[in-house]
Amino acid sequence: MKTFHGRALLPGKVEGSAMVSHIGFNTLSTYKANIMGGVTDKAVCSDGDNKDLYGKDIGGAILCLPQTIGSTTGGFVLMGVAKMGLAPKAMLFANHVDSLAIGGLLMADIWMEKRIITIDLLGQDFLDAVSTGEPIKVYEDGKVEIG
């Protein structure tokens, strides 16, 4: 079992299968069909530039990502998919989560009581060690166990 420690920004405990992307997570491109296309039954990644996640249903997933990328809409998009019930269970970042994304995650948590567990600063070694489908456990203190 591999163990990593990060910064628990929105703490919580969850376990499941990892869904990994080594490409920055563009929130608007990823959830474009949900936010702009009216798709409300599942969250299939529509970001054609993200070969790791494209076409996969990421709703309820434990996403393992380097960081978010994109524009000022990132926080709004994350808040929107949380409200729709299509958000991931957790977002685990190797690097810093950006301020706009965490803003949306905090608004979803506080205003809508829709927490997306968020841990950042897990390091590149974390992202290199985890594979899609691998069992993963997340703890409230920012500890993440793989395997």
Distance CA 66, CA 12 (A): 20
Q: Are 117 and 12 in contact (CB under 8 A)?
A: yes
Interval 63-107: pLDDT, tens: 999 999 977 888 999 999 999 999 999 999 999 999 999 999 999
Q: Right CATH number for 2-146 from 3.30.420.130, 3.50.30.10, 3.10.450.230, 3.60.70.12?
A: 3.50.30.10
Helix H or strand E encompassing 68: strand 68-69
Average pLDDT, the chain: 95
Q: Are 35 and 77 in contact (CB under 8 A)?
A: yes
**Strand 14-20 versus strand 62-65 pairing type:** parallel
Question: Three-state DSSP class for 77?
Answer: helix
Rounded mean pLDDT of 110-122? 98
